[in-house]
Structure 1
Amino acid sequence: MSGCTVYVVDDEKDILDLVSEYLTQKGYAVKTFGSGESFLGEFEKSEPDIVILDIMLPDIDGYEICKRIRKNSDVPIIMLSAKGEELDKVLGLELGSDDYISKPFSLSELEARIRKILRRVKRDSIKQDNVIEVFGIKVDFNQRNVFYNGTHIELSPKEFETFVLLLKESSKVLKRSYILERIWGDPALYDERMVDDVIKRLRKKILQYNLPVEIKTMWGLGYKLEEKKDEYKD
């Protein structure tokens, strides 16, 4: 991924220096920021290929920064935290981050995760049409919006990604581990209950917006999105 731009946001200068030096040696163009405000100011001018974002910052915490980024951008985000609490991980990922790594971390592991995410982004951008329509549900990938009968369906970042995956692969039963890997990353790093939680929320949204689909649990296998059966048909 030589030549890709990485923004690193952390209030610990030692970490900024180590990460910057290591990634620069690997061929990345690196910019470092010691505060949320300085990062957001630069981000508004020029987006990088990926952001490495610490949760605990002196002015604006990483969760709030992640929320602000996701209002207008799909740039990949890896969140850093010294806490290591499960709540931190779940909250960060649900706000739209792509991965999570706890301090202290291996620089080689961080770089491996960066490469994996950037490969996935490149693959998806090549394969993906700007707009698809399945079961009458329209997905606009440029704006990350879902519509049905002209109504905008409000989805969180992870709800959007999971729902789109189920739509695009509706002919298959998707294992929880497969969904976890496609949406969050390495299944060994995350709990499959995170998938169940998103599916539960998606089912509520399907009912709320009266969508013509349902997510079925295929016991022992996984989840499958199907078109709702018309109960009034002969």
Structure 2
Amino acid sequence: MCAHILVAEDDEMQAELIRRLLLQEGHTAVVVHDGRAAIDEAGRNRPDLVVLDLMLPRIDGLGVCRVLRRDDDVPVLMLTARTAEDDVLLGLELGADDYMTKPYSPRELMARIRTVLRRTLRPAAGGPPPLRVGAIRVDPLRHWVTCDGAPVTCTPGEFAILAAMAAEPDRVFSRRQLLRHTSGHDRASTERAVDVHIMNLRKKIEPDPRRPVRLLTVFGVGYKLVGDRGDS
């Protein structure tokens, strides 16, 4: 189960811990530190789950939850140091799917996140599930890409190539095969255009584009997408 999760937590050390735990479990994560940023990020890139601290600056977690519930049904797991029953009830009344009080164990937090995702994360009818190859996540349905947990902006042609290769990792694609996937996205559809797309994708997903370890050239044949331990 690969999910895109928004973490809204003003404690930077706590937020980074949560982000790392999510990445270890195969999810992608975006971290923000105030309520206004949480609302803006959820509007730009709809998450599969929001881990939402109640005591956020600018707009508190309850205010964020009100806005999210007004516009969407994204699942929300609320975190707070408050233990008053009224706060718990208000959060649940606003539509929070679960509620944890601080301090909590990282193990319990991850278990709660898995439970919420199992209950709420369903592939859209007829739509393909998100694809994962190493640190790269590709969602063909929502047309987003992340690498090492960070969003990646792709042109339509780049996305078409990356999605095709992510669907069959380790398969070697010839330029002509990749060209068929960009048909309809590129006006200048030539095998040379495929090379340009590959070069641009490497700038976006490789730790060092000059020494690719993810999007590899197979000399005399074409290209393949591999996990981070692929041979160069």
After TM superposition, the score normalised by the length of structure 1 is: 0.51
Q: Distance in 1 between matches of 2:121 and 2:22?
A: 19
Q: Is the partner of 1:87 in helix, strand or coil?
A: helix
Alignment of 1:51-130 (within 5 A): 51-122=50-121
CA distance in 2, matches of 1:29, 1:123: 17
Structure 1 runs of 4+ aligned residues shifted over 6 Å read 123-126
Of structures 1 and 2, the larger Rg is shown by 2
Cα displacement (A) at 1:82:
0.4
Q: Residue 75 of structure 1 aligns to which amino acid in structure 2?
A: V
Partner of 2:7: 8
SS state at 1:79 partner: strand
1:97 and 1:124 mapped to 2: Cα distance?
A: 21
d(CA) in 2 for partners of 1:21, 1:115: 15
Letter in 2 for 1:77: V
Gaps of 5+ in 2: 126-232
Where structure 1 has 5 or more consecutive residues not aligned to the other structure, the ranges are 127-234
Q: Deviations over 1:192-211 (max 9, x none)?
A: xxxxxxxxxxxxxxxxxxxx
The one-letter amino acid of 2:15's match is L
The match for 1:44 is 43
Give me the identity figure in percent.
Answer: 42
Within 5 Å, give how 1:163-202 maps onto structure 2: none
Using a 3 Å threshold, how does the CA distance of structure 1 residues 36 and 122 change in structure 2: closer, same or farther? closer
| SS of equivalent to 2:47 | coil
2: CA distance between counterparts of 1:20 and 1:112?
15
Q: Is the 8 A contact 2:38 2:64 kept in 1?
A: no
The 3 A distance-change label for structure 1 pair 86 and 123 is same
Q: Please report how far the alpha carbon of residue 60 of structure 1 lies from its aligned counterpart in structure 2 after TM superposition.
A: 0.4
CA RMSD of aligned residues (A): 1.6
Shift of 1:122: 3.8
Q: Secondary structure at the match of 1:68?
A: helix
TM-score, normalised via structure 2 length: 0.51
In the alignment, the residues of structure 2 paired with residue 99 and residue 31 of structure 1 have an alpha-carbon distance, to the nearest angstrom, of: 20
For the residue of structure 2 that corresponds to 1:116, the secondary structure is helix
Letter of the structure 2 residue corresponding to residue 91 of structure 1? L
